[in-house]
Structure 1
Amino acid sequence: MCGRNSLFIDQADLEARFDAEVVADGGYTPRYNIAPGDDLHIITNEASDEIDTYHWGLIPFWADEPEAGMINARSETADEKRVFDRAWDSRPCLVLSSGFYEWRSTNGGSKQPFRIHREGDPAFAMAGLWDVWDGADESISCVTILTTDPNDLMKPIHDRMPVVLPKDVESEWLSAGADARKRLCQPYPKDDLAAYEVSTRVNNPGNDDPKIIEPLEHEQSGLGEFSSG
């Protein structure tokens, strides 16, 4: 799954990386610990040259009142779920990230957080679906992140991972039809993802500062011991 995100690249570099302009109300503020219910910066298929912010949690269109919504959607079955029906069919988006967080269960029962990022790329895109919930007095633009099976890096940490898109298929994700997009929902195939342990400070969404991404200092920090060779 994907339960936390970050995006802290400089705005000018972000816009250059995705060839898009930030149009979000309130502009752009670097974030190190983005939790469900916060806003995610995304690029939709309807405005591929714009970076906007959408509520993280896709709200069922039939809901009478706004709610937290679905923060993740299984890519294998999203096309079968009523809640994602119209979003899967025609509303793909890129969810922008400088790295996401996942928690690995330990023998003692506690969970150790890891930061997963792409080496050499301060911002990348995860596959998402967007929608608009319309209420009596308001409309909420919302988004969910698609997940898939873990790749070799993620297997020791969690049994799911977000669909991280290789840079060369980001445009295709926005423009392709539903069947072609489903074929793109694969475990990240390249070897430029890296993971390392971070402090449990990330567990508290109120902690949102550069210290969140600092490696945890101990003798076996990182995932070298899990390498599959």
Structure 2
Amino acid sequence: MCGRNSLFVEQGDLEARFDAELVTDGGYTPRYNIAPADDLHIITNEASNEIDRYHWGLIPFWADESVEGIINARSETADEKRVFEQAWESRPCLVLSSGFYEWKSPNSEMKQPYRIHREDDPAIAMAGLWDVWEGDDETISCVTILTTEPNDLMNSIHDRMPVVLPQDAESDWLAADSDTPKELCQPYPKDDLDAYEISTRVNNPGNDDPQVIEPLDHEQSGLGEFSS
């Protein structure tokens, strides 16, 4: 799965990387610890030259009121689920990231968080589906991240991973018709992803600063548990 994200590349570098302009209300703020129900920066198939900000959690269209929504969708079965049907057919998007976080459970002990990112790339794109939920008094643009089987790197950490798109497949994902997406929803095929242990500061979404991504110092592990 993918339950925590980050995006802290400089705005100019982000726009250059995806050849798109930030159009979000309120400007751009680097984030080191993005939790579900926060906003994710995405590029949709309907505006491939714009970077916008959507609620993380796809809200079912039948919901009577806004809820946190569904943060992940299994790519293998998303097309079979009523909640994702329209989004799967016509609303692909890129979810932008400086790296995502996953937790490993070694021998049933406390879960160890890892940061996963792509080396030598300022940002990566994960495959997502977007939608617009309409309530009586509000409209919410929302997004879910697609997941797949783990690749060799992720296999030792978790049994699922987000669909991380190779850079040369990003435009293909946005242009895909309803028959093509599953071909692109594969475990990440290249060997340029890196994973390393970080401290449990990431467990608290209130910790949203560069310290979150620092590699874990095993000699000092545990000392940070008492800091906010």
**TM-score bracket for this pair, using the shorter chain length:** over 0.9
Matched residue, 2:93: 93
Unaligned stretches of 5+ residues in structure 1: 222-229
1:9-43 CA distances to partner (integer Å, 9 max, x unpaired)? 00000000000000011111100000000000000
Alignment of 1:14-93 (within 5 A): 14-93=14-93
TM (norm. structure 1) is 0.95
Query: Counterparts of 1:2 and 1:108 in 2: how far apart (Å)?
Result: 20
Matched residue, 1:224: none
Deviation at 1:182, TM superposition (A): 1.2
SS at match of 2:104: strand
Letter in 2 for 1:213: I
SS at match of 1:102: strand
Deviation at 1:109, TM superposition (A): 2.6
Query: Counterparts of 1:144 and 1:40 in 2: how far apart (Å)?
Result: 10
SS at match of 2:182: helix
SS at match of 1:13: helix
Aligned pair 1:179/2:150, yes or no? no
SS at match of 2:62: coil
Runs of 4+ aligned structure 1 residues displaced above 6 Å come to none
1:155-211 CA distances to partner (integer Å, 9 max, x unpaired)? 010000000000001001001112211110000000000000000000000000000
Query: Counterparts of 1:94 and 1:57 in 2: how far apart (Å)?
Result: 15
Matched residue, 1:142: 142
Query: Counterparts of 2:139 and 2:170 in 1: how far apart (Å)?
Result: 28
SS at match of 1:96: strand
SS at match of 2:153: coil
Aligned pair 1:162/2:162, yes or no? yes
TM (norm. structure 2) is 0.95
Unaligned stretches of 5+ residues in structure 2: 222-228
Matched residue, 1:214: 214
Matched residue, 2:226: none
User: Is the Cα contact below 8 Å between 2:126 and 2:165 reproduced in 1?
Assistant: yes
Matched residue, 2:225: none
Query: Counterparts of 1:77 and 1:126 in 2: how far apart (Å)?
Result: 17
Query: Counterparts of 1:160 and 1:54 in 2: how far apart (Å)?
Result: 23
SS at match of 1:83: helix
Matched residue, 2:6: 6
With 210-219 and 123-132 compared, the bigger mean Cα shift is at 210-219
Query: Counterparts of 1:3 and 1:165 in 2: how far apart (Å)?
Result: 18
Query: Counterparts of 2:120 and 2:113 in 1: how far apart (Å)?
Result: 22
Matched residue, 1:227: none
Letter in 1 for 2:11: Q
Letter in 2 for 1:142: C
User: Is the Cα contact below 8 Å between 2:58 and 2:143 reproduced in 1?
Assistant: yes
Number of matched pairs: 220
User: Is the Cα contact below 8 Å between 2:17 and 2:122 reproduced in 1?
Assistant: no
Letter in 1 for 2:112: Q
Query: Counterparts of 1:159 and 1:124 in 2: how far apart (Å)?
Result: 21
SS at match of 1:14: helix
Query: Counterparts of 1:152 and 1:218 in 2: how far apart (Å)?
Result: 24
CA RMSD of aligned residues (A): 1.0
